[in-house]
Amino acid sequence: MQLPPAFISKYQALLGAEAIPFLDSFQAPAVHGFRINPLKPPANLTIDLSHPIPTVPNGYYGKVAGKTPEHQSGYVYSQEPSAMQVAQVVNPQAGERVLDLCAAPGGKSTQLAGMLNNSGLLVANEIDRSRAKVLVENLERAGVWNPLILNEDPDSLARHFPRYFDKILVDAPCSGEGMFRKNPQAMKYWSLDYPAACAVRQRTILPAALKMLKPGGELVYSTCTFAPEEDEQIIAWLLKEFPLKVVPITKTAGMEDGRPAWANQNPALADTVRLFPQNLPGDGHFIAKLRYEPTDAAGSLIKTQRSNVAGELRKWWQQLVSTEFTVDPATNLLSFGKTLYSYHPDIPDLQQLKVMRPGTPVANIKKQRLEPAYGLALALKPQSVQKRLTLTRAEWQIYVHGDTLSVDPKLPKGWYLLDCQGMPIGFGKVVQGTLKNFFPKGLRFQI
């Protein structure tokens, strides 16, 4: 790989002798990793789990294929190993309200959701609409319960969530120097001035994020770049401008202190973390954790979203629950577009927000009836449905292609939660020996 000459000389000046292993690391192959989703029920996975990442529960080195039941059903998520350290630093606790402000495609959101274990509230926001759609797919696949998925710019979002969150992650858009190895195209955008331009954007995102943090709440800031302008210098600026304190991050093997000398010499910057690719298997990251300690500690009340499901629609839902489920899987019901959602009761009134998903889709609204939603199949506990059917891997291929399958004609008609090797993969409807396919049209694929 041919690194930009200005990049080489910049890091030679910054790193001295260490620049040699740093620059050499770009010639090594990219390191792959994946996480196993702790939200999913136990299943028989066909995946090599022999190389665990010691510092990341459920994290493994290796590559996983995309077109497999394990991937389609959200049991695995491919993620570069050093990126996995960020959610570890956020460390969400049960019941907390957590915002992932720059969330697409959803690597850190899915990991945070796993750590929240479907307690508390995850709000995943992405400014770019097409990327937000990918975020929706990934959170749906992961079976996250009641995530609020938004497509807002940080300033607009801040108006709706004043002092609302316990933890906020800003995994900032950055110059992406850590991506060069995996995606050499990323070098095309790079110039000596690019990190400073990215820093301008980061300085607009962060004040908006702080408006949404509760007093005593924690902000985690991360980048996948090595540029001091976007790393230590951003934290030095935040510490000067806002009532924030650095929370030291416990360092594990291969993690280095942030470098005060690369900013304003503030010694607290050493408590941030640099992950360099010459020190650990991964592409590199910068992570800082800050506690917000404003002097005026008043919180803010918000108007919460009320359920809008009554009358006929509620009756149809109750009918579906009584014929197909063992318990009512929904929390609060919201009709949104042509879908019925379960949503978290603490979410603000959604009227002025660009909502991708208010929660978990539980049913598709048809004329005079409801059909259980794909997203529900991936999120609910299998024991909460009345009828289940196991497909072989070969039958799974037919299912994800969108075709019908023949089944035992004696099977009672109705909705079945389908699984493959114990992994829930979607719903199907049995009618007289035929399994009708309800795998969403937009997600179908051929192996």
Ligand X SMILES: C[S@@+](CC[C@H](N)C(=O)[O-])C[C@H]1O[C@@H](n2cnc3c(N)ncnc32)[C@H](O)[C@@H]1O
Q: Which residue ranges are tagged as binding site?
A: 102-108, 126, 153, 171
Long-range CB contacts (< 8 A, 24+ apart) of 117-120? Answer: 117/38, 117/39, 118/39, 118/144, 118/145, 118/146, 119/94, 119/95, 120/92, 120/93, 120/94, 120/95, 120/96
To the nearest 10°, the Cα dihedral for 40, 43, 47, 49?
80
User: Exactly one of 96, 126, 395, 419 binds ligand X (CB under 6 A); which one?
Assistant: 126
128 lies in the binding site for ligand X (CB under 6 A): yes
User: Exactly one of 120, 154, 178, 358 binds ligand X (CB under 6 A); which one?
Assistant: 154
106 lies in the binding site for ligand X (CB under 6 A): yes
Residues 173-192 that bind ligand X (CB under 6 A): 173
103 lies in the binding site for ligand X (CB under 6 A): yes
Interatomic CA distance for residues 103 and 357, integer angstroms: 14
Least distance from ligand X to the Cβ atom of residue 71, Å: 16
Contact window for ligand X (CB under 6 A) among 100-108, 354-362, 393-401, 437-445 = 100-108
Residues 385-444 that bind ligand X (CB under 6 A): none
Minimum CB distance to ligand X smaller for 125 or for 279: 125
Least distance from ligand X to the Cβ atom of residue 53, Å: 16
Q: Which residues are annotated as a binding site for S-adenosyl-L-methionine?
A: 102-108, 126, 153, 171
244 lies in the binding site for ligand X (CB under 6 A): no
- Is 198 annotated as catalytic? no
Contacts of 243 (CB under 8 A, 6+ apart): 292, 293, 294, 295
Interatomic CA distance for residues 118 and 159, integer angstroms: 26
Contacts of 134 (CB under 8 A, 6+ apart): 104, 105, 106
DSSP state of 347: P
Minimum CB distance to ligand X smaller for 164 or for 325: 164
Minimum CB distance to ligand X smaller for 140 or for 171: 171
Contact window for ligand X (CB under 6 A) among 105-113, 347-355, 356-364, 407-415 = 105-113
Angle between helices 194-211 and 232-241 (to 10 degrees): 40
The residue count for binding ligand X (CB under 6 A) is 17
Interatomic CA distance for residues 166 and 90, integer angstroms: 10
Cβ pair 57, 252 in contact under 8 A:
no
DSSP state of 408: -
129 lies in the binding site for ligand X (CB under 6 A): no
291 lies in the binding site for ligand X (CB under 6 A): no
87 lies in the binding site for ligand X (CB under 6 A): no
Interatomic CA distance for residues 387 and 383, integer angstroms: 9
Positions in the binding site for ligand X (CB under 6 A): 102-108, 126-128, 131, 153-154, 171, 173, 201, 205
| Residues belonging to the active site | 224
